[in-house]
């Protein structure tokens, strides 16, 4: 039965906290959600550790097509997304990453995201946009447009660790994950990605700050290592995500819409 389970409690607290408008919840409300997520274990969601590393890769893909015209085959491990529930205000799901798999650098426009590592270890790199926007052109034959961002995290996280929160303009709204071991991440996205509402996922390639400028040119005093230039790109060809079956305690939903495989 859903009643009394931690995942049902998370759903109900999310219903009280978030609304479809995307207006950010109070810091106290986010703290309450994080505290609840901190209590959730893999067993509470019907998960077993390291099962994905026993699977074979999905197939051969082109290496980064934006940096080279040559092909370099590699065996890509699929990332599995377990959809739990979704409504107009938020979505809850689990990302299961085999060892060495990666969710590329991507954004969460106008969204608040809560992430809890359920098991395993992963490297997290995260940025926030500099405001007001600072955009430059490469000035080279294959000219590209890049936007300035500031590092917020570049670290390895291992379960158990506190739930992380990112916000529309702070906390590391642009991030990528690389699995150091088999890892599972419980995610709450509020509001969900929506093409209709203009909240679509954009992927990025990051360049060192010195690739396009110097701190003096931009009137900056801080170390250039604190910044990077991000270029919007198409979804990388070697990124594959599939839907899986959530087998944990069911959630009794109210006015929810069918979920789809999304990025956190």
pLDDT score recorded for residue 69 = 34
pLDDT tens digits, 80-128? 999 999 999 999 999 999 999 999 999 999 999 999 999 999 999 999 9
Range of lowest pLDDT (50-54, 96-100, 170-174, 183-187)? 50-54
Label residue 4 left, alpha or beta by phi (over 0 means left) and psi (-120 to 50 means alpha): left
Whole-angstrom distance, CA of residue 215 vs CA of residue 220: 5
Task: Calculate mean pLDDT across residues 139-165.
Answer: 89
pLDDT tens digits, 25-39? 899 999 999 999 999
Task: Give, as one character, the DSSP assignment of residue 199.
Answer: B
Whole-angstrom distance, CA of residue 155 vs CA of residue 14: 28
Task: Give, as one character, the DSSP assignment of residue 56.
Answer: P
> Is the per-residue pLDDT at 200 higher than 90?
yes
Domains and their CATH numbers in the chain: 6-244 (2.60.120.10)
Whole-angstrom distance, CA of residue 255 vs CA of residue 1: 19
Tell me the range of 9-23, 66-80, 118-132 where mean pLDDT is highest.
Answer: 118-132
pLDDT band at 53; cut points 50, 70, 90: low
The alpha carbon of 133 is separated from its chain's Cα centroid by a whole number of angstroms, namely 22
pLDDT score recorded for residue 215 = 57
Q: Who contacts 235 (Cβ-Cβ below 8 Å, separation ≥6)?
A: 104, 203
pLDDT score recorded for residue 91 = 97
pLDDT tens digits, 209-240? 888 766 556 666 556 678 999 999 999 988 99
């Amino acid at each position: 039965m859903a009643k009394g389970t931690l995942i049902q409690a998370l759903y109900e607290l999310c219903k009280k906290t978030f609304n479809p408008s995307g207006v950010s919840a109070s810091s106290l409300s986010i703290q309450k959600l994080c505290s609840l997520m901190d209590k959730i274990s893999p067993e509470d969601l019907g998960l077993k550790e390291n099962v994905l590393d026993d699977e074979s890769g999905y197939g051969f893909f082109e290496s980064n097509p934006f940096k080279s015209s040559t092909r370099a085959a590699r065996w890509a491990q699929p990332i599995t997304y377990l959809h739990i529930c979704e409504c107009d205000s938020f979505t809850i799901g689990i990302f299961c990453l085999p060892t060495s798999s990666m969710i590329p650098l991507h954004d969460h426009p106008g969204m608040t995201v809560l992430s809890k590592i359920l098991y395993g270890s992963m490297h997290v790199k995260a940025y926030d946009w500099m405001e007001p926007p600072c955009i430059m052109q490469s000035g080279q034959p294959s000219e590209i447009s890049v936007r300035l961002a500031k590092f917020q995290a570049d670290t390895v996280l291992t379960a158990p660790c506190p739930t992380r929160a990112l916000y529309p303009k702070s906390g590391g709204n642009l991030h990528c994950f690389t699995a150091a071991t088999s890892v599972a991440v419980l995610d709450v996205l509020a509001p969900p990605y929506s093409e209709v509402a203009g909240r679509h996922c954009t992927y990025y390639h990051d360049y060192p700050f010195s690739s396009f400028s110097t701190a003096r040119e931009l009137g900056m005093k801080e170390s250039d290592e604190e910044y990077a230039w991000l270029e919007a790109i198409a979804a990388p060809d070697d990124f594959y995500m599939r839907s899986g079956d959530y087998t944990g305690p069911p959630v009794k939903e109210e006015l929810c819409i069918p979920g789809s495989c999304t990025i956190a």
